[in-house]
Amino acid sequence: MQSKSMEKKAMGCVILLLTKVVRNFMCRRKMAYRKFQSDKPSHSLLEKGAVILGSQDPSHWDVVEPLPSYGPGTELPGKRYRSLVNGYMLRDVVITGDNGTIDGQGSVWWEWFTSHSLNYYSCPHLVEFVSSESILVSNITFLNAPAYNIHPVYCSHVHIHHITVYAPPGSPYTVGIVPDSSDNVCIEDCSISMGYDAIALKSGWDEYGIAYGRPTANVHIGGSNFSSSLAFGSQMSGGISDVQVQQLHLYDSLTGIEFRTTKGRGGYIKEIAISDVDMLNIKTAFGANGHFGSHPDDKFDPDALPLVAKITIQNIIGTNISMAGNFTGIEESPFTSVCLSNVSLSINSASSSPWQCSYVSGFSESVFPEPCSELNNPDASSSCFSLLKPNGRAAVL
């Protein structure tokens, strides 16, 4: 329980946040804001039918320093545009509404990005909280973000539910939700369709993420519909672990679930449990790529090898799948303990090799089509993970 002075400070920060971003957007109809008593969290309420429009004029957007775990920055080196809704070191914040809409009007940003004509700074996100705690985002529609829609970074206790997120299929590198070096994150009952990923878990980039050293951990994702991939990485140098994914419907996507990393990342992706997923019209159901992405600069350590291990995927049904799985590990650091159970995929092609595997090992049972031999090692079954735990955390069988 925080003190009244801390609560007042947090509420003051939220008030500043909501008034500060007014010049970054145009309102149609009305945005409602309500301040509660000091023993309750601060709220931003978006009324039914209200629409917040992100300005397409870059001069309306503040500029801030890049995040420390990303070194010089992501799309462009140097500073970046501040997110439309943003906060730093906040506590007990609620952003909700009666299905009001935040529309980033990202088409002009996508054009600049695609044509390599971004002026000076990286594209902004719609919502970003940095070093904050106890955040709730719910009952809002997010449209056409220039980049990410919701980006909690260095945060704890984040709950995102009952939101709709959309950007057209051709929108470059648009992502729905990006838990980034954050812990105790719950994402549920969401509908997300993006140009790139529905959800991407991250934790910093190469030597900068390793030095910052804050992982993404204890994440639950469930009860949602995604028309884009669920991704882990590739910027995962602080580590990603203890993630549970359950009851998803994935459809009309190039990739269903993908693990991404490369030499120089360091870090780890481990203790991931995925269960009860229905896939429809997916090009590649499962992917693990050890040669994915670029580096922020030439200072990365090529000997900083990532660890990808202890991943369980079970109770999966797929229809109209082009390729079951493509697991391409790293020769110096193979992916290990990749376990598949009760997986049935209807392949839409006559390919004789629905699975491709290299530098990966694991165990499988009741999997169709039959996976590659690297995933049929009975000795690896002892290192597989179980989803059936009373406290909801993965554990070695």
Is the confidence at residue 391, as pLDDT, over 80?
no
User: Which tokens in the block code for residue 201?
Assistant: 């878990």
pLDDT at 41: 52
The residue written with tokens 């799309």 in the block is: 75
Residue type at position 159: H
What's the whole-model pTM score? 0.87
pLDDT in tens, 59-76: 999 999 999 999 988 777
pLDDT at 294: 92
pLDDT at 349: 77
Is the confidence at residue 235, as pLDDT, over 60?
yes
Walk me through the domains of the chain, giving residue ranges and CATH numbers: 4-396 (2.160.20.10)
What 3-state class would DSSP assign to 140? strand
Q: Nearest 5 degrees, angle CA 253-CA 257-CA 262? A: 115
Which range among 6-20, 106-120, 169-183 has the greatest average pLDDT? Answer: 169-183
Determine how many CB atoms are found less than 10 A away from the CB of residue 95: 26
pLDDT at 152: 98
269: part of which helix (H) or strand (E)?
A: strand 268-289
- For every residue of 101-132, DSSP letters joined together read EEE--THHHHHHHHTT---SSBPP-SEEEES-
pLDDT in tens, 285-307: 999 999 999 999 999 999 999 99
> pLDDT class for 378, splitting at 50, 70, 90?
confident
Average pLDDT over residues 14-38: 30
154: part of which helix (H) or strand (E)?
A: none
Mean pLDDT for all residues in the chain = 86
